[in-house]
């Protein structure tokens, strides 16, 4: 059994601040919003001129990008890109480089992305003075102590956790494929008819749905991560149609959940849609937890298939965004949304689409839940494997 030693983070990695001085005609800018749960999300090249001052840092393969702001939001990424010569990171991202004599890059990543470290960093961030929760390498992250096993044990732990991550990634690929299939089916069945609307098949959206919203003041929040998250626009982003509760950062107590929200809570198959900031981000609500934020409304289907409603709203999203009335902050009014026309196909065709789309949506939700269980398993295994509470040699891959 490996013996672990109590080790500070700054003893096994360094924070790198190497300024980009390249002459590339086009560069890829990586901000805190461009990294999430281990992945770099942005690969769009832009002209290398008039860049915002925050984009300065270079990084290379096996580095870890880690946001200084709100660690609980999981804005971090493991760099597995071979050639990063024209990538430039924001100064709000730490570039962490492992000391290869002490720690494997993948093992360092698992440490930095673990729930127990992120929770502690979030707590420390919230205790600092400032406009938003933030940490630094020198004050919070660097001095944090972990149980560090030897390299051979690290290698075994990485192998165990990678198996779990590969299953999570496979589920994500399946969900992405299913989403694409449903999008293609909708386009093949309805796109042409939507572009050639006739009076017989057009209805007003407000006649087919009811709207649930929360227009009161912000409710009292709890610091505990409980089963009552507030669903805001962050939870409505991403490719999959299921609400991503991982991106909820505010929570309320059971009492507040039951008593504060006078308009009620979302119900299964409601379409949650953002009306402020990032406009018309939308998801299908499944499950039985969560309350909607002030910048989110729930559209509840009354006379039409909810999966068709979701697909239709997603298809005409640019039309909804065009209702923007905000001069400083983008916003759309529900009164404008509910007046928008919607094409309603004949019943047989609508039932055909629903018969295919509803079980696929339930399968997407099942894969999402399976991934959540796998993440819990991974996060619970890591500290036990690091400390030797679980012998790595006792686990069969």
% the chain with pLDDT above 70: 95
The 8-class DSSP code of residue 85 comes to T
In the predicted structure, residue 288 carries a pLDDT above the cut 80:
no
Average confidence score pLDDT of the chain = 90
Residue 225's pLDDT is 66
More confident residue, 290 or 117: 117
DSSP strand pairing (230-231 vs 291-292):
parallel
Confidence of residue 246 (pLDDT cuts 50, 70, 90): confident
3-class SS letters over 102-142: CCCHHHHHHHHCCHHHHHHHHHHHHHCCCCCCECCHHHHHC
Give the mean model confidence (pLDDT) for residues 174-183: 95
Confidence of residue 2 (pLDDT cuts 50, 70, 90): low
In the predicted structure, residue 239 carries a pLDDT above the cut 90:
no
Residue 396's pLDDT is 61
Overall residue count recorded for the chain in this entry: 397
SS3 of 341, please? Answer: strand
Q: How far apart are CA 312 and CA 191, in angstroms?
A: 10
Residue 202's pLDDT is 86
**Spans of all domains in the chain:** 5-148, 175-347
Residue 196's pLDDT is 81
Q: How far apart are CA 345 and CA 353, in angstroms?
A: 10
Residue 377's pLDDT is 92
Residue 249's pLDDT is 77
Residue pLDDT, tens place only, 333-389: 999 999 999 999 999 999 999 999 999 999 999 999 999 999 999 988 888 888 778
Sign of the CA dihedral with 327 first, then 328, 334, and 335 last: negative
Confidence of residue 313 (pLDDT cuts 50, 70, 90): very high
Confidence of residue 216 (pLDDT cuts 50, 70, 90): low
Given this chain, do its domains 5-148 and 175-347 carry the same CATH topology?
yes
Residue 67's pLDDT is 95
Q: How far apart are CA 33 and CA 301, in angstroms?
A: 33
In the predicted structure, residue 165 carries a pLDDT above the cut 90:
yes
Look at the domain 5-148 and name its fold. Answer: Adenine-n6-DNA-methyltransferase TaqI; Chain A, domain 2 (3.90.220)
Least confident of 12-21, 80-89, 123-132, 227-236: 123-132
Contact 62, 95 (CB under 8 A): no
More confident residue, 310 or 132: 310
Confidence of residue 189 (pLDDT cuts 50, 70, 90): very high
By CB neighbour count within 10 A (0-12 exposed, 13-18 middle, 19+ buried), where does 360 fall?
Answer: middle
**Measured between alpha carbons, how far apart are the two ends of the chain, in Å?**
18
More confident residue, 196 or 262: 196
Class of 175-347 in CATH: alpha beta
């Amino acid at each position: 059994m490996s013996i672990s030693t109590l080790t500070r983070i700054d003893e096994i990695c360094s924070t790198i601040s190497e300024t980009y001085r390249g002459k590339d005609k086009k560069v890829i800018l990586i901000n805190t919003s461009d990294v999430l749960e281990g992945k770099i999300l942005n690969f769009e090249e832009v002209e290398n001129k008039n860049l915002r001052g925050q984009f300065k840092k270079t990084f290379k393969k096996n580095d870890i990008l880690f946001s200084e702001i709100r660690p609980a939001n999981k804005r971090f990424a493991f760099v597995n890109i071979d050639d990063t010569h024209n990538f430039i990171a924001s100064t709000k991202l730490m570039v962490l480089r492992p000391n290869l004599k002490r720690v494997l890059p993948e093992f360092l990543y698992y440490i930095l992305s673990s729930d127990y470290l992120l929770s502690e960093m979030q707590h420390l961030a919230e205790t600092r003075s400032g406009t938003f929760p933030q940490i630094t390498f020198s004050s919070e992250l660097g001095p944090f102590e972990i149980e560090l096993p030897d390299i051979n044990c690290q290698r075994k732990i990485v192998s165990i956790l990678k198996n779990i991550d590969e299953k999570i990634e496979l589920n994500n690929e399946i969900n992405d494929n299913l989403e694409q299939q449903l999008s293609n089916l909708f386009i093949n069945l309805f796109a042409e008819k939507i572009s050639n609307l006739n009076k017989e098949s057009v209805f007003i959206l407000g006649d087919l749905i009811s709207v649930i919203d929360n227009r009161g003041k912000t409710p009292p929040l709890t610091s505990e991560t409980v089963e009552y998250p507030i669903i805001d626009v962050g939870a409505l982003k991403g490719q999959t149609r299921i609400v991503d509760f991982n991106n909820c950062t505010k929570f309320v107590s059971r009492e507040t959940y039951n008593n504060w929200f006078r308009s009620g809570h979302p119900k299964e198959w409601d379409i949650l849609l953002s009306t402020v900031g990032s406009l018309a981000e939308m998801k299908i609500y499944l499950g039985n937890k969560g309350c909607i934020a002030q910048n989110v409304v729930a559209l509840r289907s009354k006379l039409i298939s909810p999966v068709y409603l979701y697909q239709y709203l997603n298809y005409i999203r640019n039309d909804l965004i065009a209702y923007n009335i905000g001069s400083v902050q983008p916003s759309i009014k529900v009164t404008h949304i509910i007046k928008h026309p919607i094409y309603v196909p004949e019943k047989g065709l609508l039932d055909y689409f629903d018969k295919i789309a509803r079980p696929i949506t339930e399968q997407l939700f099942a894969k999402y839940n399976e991934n959540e269980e796998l993440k819990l398993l991974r996060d619970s295994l890591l500290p036990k494997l690091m400390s030797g509470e679980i012998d790595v040699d006792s686990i069969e891959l």
